[in-house]
Amino acid sequence: MIGIFDSGIGGLTVVKAIRQRLSAYDIIYFGDTARGPYGNKSFAAILDNLRNGLEILRKCGAGIIVVACHAAAAAVYDPIGPRFDLPVLEVVSPAAKLALRQTTCGRLGIIVTRATIAGGLYAKKIGELDASARVYSLACPLLIPLAEEGWLNHPITCMIVKKYVHALKVRQIDTLILGCSYFPLFRRIIQTKIGRRVHLIDPSLAVADSLAQFLDENAAVNGRLTRNQSLRLMVSDFTDQIELAARMILKQKVRLEQCSG
Amino acid sequence: MIGIFDSGIGGLTVVKAIRQRLSAYDIIYFGDTARGPYGNKSFAAILDNLRNGLEILRKCGAGIIVVACHAAAAAVYDPIGPRFDLPVLEVVSPAAKLALRQTTCGRLGIIVTRATIAGGLYAKKIGELDASARVYSLACPLLIPLAEEGWLNHPITCMIVKKYVHALKVRQIDTLILGCSYFPLFRRIIQTKIGRRVHLIDPSLAVADSLAQFLDENAAVNGRLTRNQSLRLMVSDFTDQIELAARMILKQKVRLEQCSG
């Protein structure tokens, strides 16, 4: 199966993208709702939680794992990735690559959480690919609870988005990465507030493409993955509100299993 | 020492109140920042975390523990309280008692998180004390990240508070309990939006009074508590942002120790 890890249920945006891109494959999801969201957590805490989540997905039969949580991407890149016994992809590298393909002026904005900025993987990846690119990172922590509350089109959400993106607008960016698994849910509002000329990068689409390419190039991994279009959703803490939010993202009835490893 | 447990650093409002009321006593604080906030967590997850936190405080020398987190209060009441080997006080019971003393019309509002509503302790306590009282509970989850961000007087915070309290205003309450350890930080805005005639109940002051009374009545416990005016602050996950927020609440320089038990 394709395993997908996230700090909560925001990573279901990545599930959606992967199901659209690779519809036949079985998917198993683990959202660490008992310890998430990770946006204000330290690297050490995120690393511990990530190790636990990857282990759960491996035990449940994942043959490859996609980490949907941007805050955990730096820890996937180093130290997890090279030492884990399954291939582990993260969302930051493909999003950074796609953003650099899209920009014409070389001025990129990234909206993220504090932990993602502290992890530094966006700055590192973009710097490696194009040392002349200018990167403006902005932590937007309030968007996570707004998503969890389902206030996707609320007037207050519009005001908060406007306040946040103003800081990037004055930087005259032409490309903006939605650097948290929840943020694609605000795509329409963000586009309105930042202006139509700014190209938005949805990392869930970028990582789905990257996964498809990886499977094309790695027949051994691809051959081990089952293809029955199934979707199994696990969380480390279950509440009705979490199930509601999951339903809102996937736009279908869902059943969440509780699993703490 | 007096131990104080919270899901994060919001419980420092209780530390402030206890230091004002019982200034000589040594205080040790544990904020579960690695797993908090608890507002959207299940009872089972909160119970596990609470057990871990109480054990840490006991090992570090607490002789009595005050649980500042409203979401954990129901778990303190049952099953923790009667079975733990130290006295454990929670914030809900004294706040409920004080609210019933203040109300004249018997219509009470409580602003809380979802986990506190699910725990049901406010409804239970108020029902036991005055079966005729009408209680209107409202979950205000967005106030927690606003506090963590330090947006205490931001225009967006005013709008969100206005939207929340409107639902209680139409119920014609005369008393409102600030039922989350962070909410006393918004006291001024809440008072403005709900109207001057509504009496606000700050549970941190209520639990400080309740603790003072408990110590008056329990000489054995009181005699074991040291009195050097010291304050030790521990968190299960440390970041600069958490230290900043702690400083904002206590209005003094603080040093947080990391401790996961």
Average per-residue pLDDT for chain A? 96
Convert the pLDDT of each residue in B224-238 to its tens digit.
999 999 999 999 999
Is B140 a residue of the active site?
Answer: no
Q: Identify whether A259 is a catalytic site residue.
A: no
Q: Which residues of chain A form beta strands (DSSP E)?
A: 2-6, 27-31, 64-67, 88-90, 107-112, 134-139, 175-178, 199-201, 231-235, 256-258
Cβ-Cβ contacts under 8 Å for B84 (sequence gap 6 or more): B54, B65
- One domain, residues A197 and A252: no
Q: How many domains does chain A have?
A: 2
CATH of the domain at B132: 3.40.50.1860
Residues B32 and B108 in one domain: no
Residues A197 and A98 in one domain: yes
Q: Which residues of A touch B (CB under 8 A)?
A: 33-35, 40-42, 44-45, 114, 118, 141-142, 144-146, 148-149, 151, 156, 159-160, 163, 237-239, 241-242
B225 and B199 part of one domain: no
Give the domain-ending residue among A183, A203, A223: A203
pLDDT computed for residue B122 by the predictor = 97
Give the model confidence (pLDDT) of A211-247 as tens digits.
999 999 999 999 999 999 999 999 999 999 999 999 9
* Same domain, residue pair B98 and B195: yes
Cβ-based contacts of A114 with chain B (< 8 Å): 239, 241
Q: Which of A34, A44, A141 sits opposite B41 (nearest CB)?
A: A34
Q: Do A6 and A41 lie in a common domain?
A: yes
B19: left (phi over 0), alpha (psi -120 to 50) or beta: alpha
B219–chain A nearest CA distance, Å: 40
Chain A residue numbers touching B237 (CB-CB < 8 A): 41-42, 44-45
Query: Which pLDDT score is estimated for B261?
Result: 65
Residues of B near A (Cβ–Cβ under 8 Å) read 33-35, 40-42, 44-45, 114, 118, 141-142, 144-146, 148-149, 151, 156, 159-160, 163, 237-239, 241-242
Residue B43 and residue B99 in one domain:
no
pLDDT reported for residue B75: 96
Same-domain status, A32 and A55: yes
Q: A70-112: per-residue pLDDT in tens? A: 999 999 999 998 889 999 999 999 999 999 999 999 999 999 9
End-of-domain residue from the set A187, A203, A219: A203
Does residue A107 share a domain with residue A195? yes
Residue B143, min C-alpha distance to chain A (Å): 10
| Domain assignment of residue B72, given as a range | 2-90+204-258
Predicted ipTM of the assembly: 0.92
**What is the least distance, in Å, from the CA of A156 to any CA of chain B?**
7
